[in-house]
């Protein structure tokens, strides 16, 4: 973040027991520190006072990178598996920092002093990197598993399609783009064993899975990595 002038005229003491000022989703402190509270991570937009923007991995208009030199671009789809991730863009440092979004692991904010309780992002001072309190999940397709499985999958799909035609589902399904996720354990199984495991169940979920395979095929396991920062130019 860039250097800001603390708002002494509107400062508060109660709750945090230090002088602070709440402004458009941010909380600034008299000593030059800045936080974004967890309850404010949905306050979208750029605040020129700090040169920091709150956004999401879906709405971000910047190309993001894994490395500081910006040589390893991140595809947006890699950041949207399981839902969008909230984040803040620090234009002064050219980094994106994750804003803890609830289910993505325990935030480290509880390790901070009490006055920063509830922080999702923390800047100790201007012209320094924010301290990461949670991490981005970057979910890439696992091409090694796909490459090894792809020879079996056409045969599996053909067998399941035939099984669905012989024994139509007991339940009614609407056509969607849902695909059945191929299992890494299939690498060690025979085609007969895989088909047997997929056709043995008789419940709603089993019928739905076979319907998805027959109509839409397979998706593939993904390789997840976790990052304190993403970078932009």
My answer on whether 212 and 114 are in the same domain is no
Q: What is the mean pLDDT of residues 79-91?
A: 94
Please indicate, yes or no, whether residues 159 and 125 belong to a single structural domain of this protein.
Answer: no
Same domain membership, residue 26 and residue 55: yes
Pair (67, 158) in one structural domain = no
Q: What is the pLDDT of residue 178?
A: 85
Q: Is the pLDDT of residue 107 over 60?
A: no
Parent domain of 218: 143-222
Q: Does residue 232 lie in a domain region?
A: no
Is the alpha carbon torsion for 64, 65, 70, 72 positive or negative? Answer: negative
Q: Among 140, 156, 174, where does a domain finish?
A: 140
pLDDT of residue 102 exceeding 70:
no
> Longest Cα pair distance anywhere in the chain, in angstroms?
76
Q: Tell me the β-bridge partners of 65.
A: 73, 231
Total H helices, total E strands in the chain: 3, 13
- Over residues 30-51, the pLDDT tens digits come to 999 999 988 888 889 999 999 9
Q: How many domains does the chain have?
A: 2
Query: Which residues 6+ apart lie within 8 Å of 135 measured at CB?
Result: 98, 104, 105, 226, 227, 228
Task: Flag whether 1 is in a domain.
Answer: no
Dump pLDDT digits (tens) for 136-193: 999 998 877 778 888 899 999 999 999 999 988 887 776 677 899 898 889 889 999 9
Does a structural domain hold residue 3?
Answer: no
Q: Pick the more confident residue, 92 or 108.
A: 92
| Whether residues 135 and 152 fall in one domain | no
Residues 44 and 102 in one domain: yes
Examine the domain organization and report whether 129 and 177 are in the same domain.
no
Q: Are 191 and 111 members of one domain?
A: no
Which contiguous run of DSSP H or E holds residue 196? helix 191-199
Separation between Cα atoms, residue 97 and residue 122, nearest integer Å: 10
Domain boundary among 90, 107, 140: 140
Contact between residue 130 and residue 39 where contact means Cβ atoms under 8 Å apart: no
| H/E element, 34 | strand 34-37
Give the end of a domain, one of 140, 159, 179: 140
Residues 217, 119 share a domain: no
Task: Report whether 71 contacts 22 (CB < 8 A).
Answer: no
The verdict on 34 and 81 lying in the same domain is: yes
């Amino acid at each position: 973040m860039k250097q800001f002038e603390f708002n002494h005229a509107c400062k508060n003491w109660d709750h945090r027991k230090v002088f602070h000022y709440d402004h458009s989703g941010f909380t600034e402190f008299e000593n030059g520190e800045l936080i974004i509270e967890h309850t404010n991570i949905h306050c979208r937009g750029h605040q020129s006072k700090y040169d920091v923007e709150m956004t999401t991995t879906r709405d971000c208009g910047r190309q993001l990178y894994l490395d500081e030199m910006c040589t390893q671009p991140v595809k947006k789809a890699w950041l949207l598996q399981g839902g969008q991730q909230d984040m803040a863009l620090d234009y002064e440092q050219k980094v994106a920092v994750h804003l803890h979004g609830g289910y993505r692991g325990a935030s480290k904010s509880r390790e901070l002093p009490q006055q920063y309780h509830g922080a999702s992002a923390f800047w100790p001072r201007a012209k320094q990197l924010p301290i990461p309190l949670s991490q981005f999940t970057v979910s890439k397709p696992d091409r090694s598993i796909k490459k090894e499985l792809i020879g079996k999958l056409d045969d599996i799909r053909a067998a399941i399609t035939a099984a669905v035609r012989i024994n139509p589902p007991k339940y009614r399904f609407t056509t969607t783009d849902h695909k059945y996720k191929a299992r890494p354990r299939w690498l060690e199984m025979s085609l007969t064993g895989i088909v047997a495991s997929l056709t043995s169940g008789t419940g709603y979920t089993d019928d739905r899975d076979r319907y998805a395979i027959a109509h839409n095929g397979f998706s593939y396991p993904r390789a997840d990595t976790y990052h304190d920062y993403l970078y932009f130019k």
